[in-house]
Amino acid sequence: MQARPISDQHIEYSAEEKRVHLGMMSGHRWHMDPKVLLFSMARYKFVAKMLTGTASVLEVGCGDGWGTHLVAHEVQSIHAVDIDPVMVAECRKTQTDDRITFAVHDMQAAPLEKHFDAVYLLDVLEHVQAQAEDQFLRHVTRSLGPDGVCIVGLPSLESQAYASAPSRATHVNCKSGKDFKKLLQRYFKNVFLFSMNDEVVHTGFTPMAHYLLCLCVGVRQEIQHG
């Protein structure tokens, strides 16, 4: 018997199923340039697969929470924070996954009181002024347990030659691959650097990478208690 094409297979859709609406930032990306949203989701997929099975995860700088939902499918729980109350309100309106909680928090001002098994921040560190990055990263690490995992992603310094003027104005702290890894080695025992071009994550030549990701493991004791 000939199998029916997938497109003809019967799929039941519930009339009660909630329609999905893009968040504020994600909707803007979709209208501006849909592939930019694809690239962003690829970064969240990397985080999701690296943290699969993790019990408690912290996201710093969750924006509209669109990518948070992707990670939530691989972990047990996420507490997602952002400095912008408008974005947190947007998250609570559009994201209803009971594995995720949202809160307004300024990581530069203070760490979280709870220790998490993992933390990730994508497209956040480049917005932190260089003179404030040490305090910011210390607060990130103090929100982790001693064996915690941290994933940090940001646009490469080299990519800024191709960025728009408005983008460059807010990207005040981009890094080259070498400097990015060196910075995070001050806070973590093990740091693994990845390059990214479009939606592809690889271990290629970092000066040709548009985006950089560091997977960090084990908070240095002097940072945890310093």
Contact 206, 156 (CB under 8 A): yes
Distances (CA, A) of 208 to 107, 167, 195, 198, 203: 31, 19, 8, 12, 11
Whole-number average pLDDT of the chain: 91
Please indicate whether residue 184 or residue 14 has the higher confidence score (pLDDT). Answer: 184
> What percent of the chain clears pLDDT 70, i.e. is strictly above it?
91
Pairing assessment for the beta strands 144-155 and 211-219 based on DSSP bridges: antiparallel
| pLDDT in the model for residue 116 | 98
What confidence tens digit (pLDDT) does each residue in 27-61 have?
Answer: 888 888 889 899 999 999 999 999 999 999 999 99
- pTM given for the model: 0.90
**Residue 93, pLDDT above cutoff 90:** no
**Residue 3, pLDDT above cutoff 90:** no
Residue type, 3: A
Q: Which residue do the tokens 């098994």 mark?
A: 117
Q: Which residue segments constitute the domains of the chain, with CATH numbers given?
A: 40-224 (3.40.50.150)
| pLDDT in the model for residue 2 | 53
| pLDDT in the model for residue 1 | 47
Contact 127, 171 (CB under 8 A): yes
Mention every residue, 6+ apart, whose C-beta is less than 8 A from residue 90. Answer: 23, 24, 64, 65
Please indicate whether residue 122 or residue 16 has the higher confidence score (pLDDT). Answer: 122
SS3 state at 101: strand
Beta bridge partners of 215: 151, 192
What confidence tens digit (pLDDT) does each residue in 126-163 have?
Answer: 999 999 999 999 999 999 998 999 999 999 999 999 99
SS3 state at 177: helix
Residue 99's Cα: distance from chain center in Å? 17
Pairing assessment for the beta strands 200-202 and 211-219 based on DSSP bridges: unpaired
**Residue 71, pLDDT above cutoff 60:** yes
Mean pLDDT of 121-130: 97
Mean pLDDT of 59-71: 95
**Angular region, 198: left φ>0, alpha ψ -120 to 50, beta rest:** left
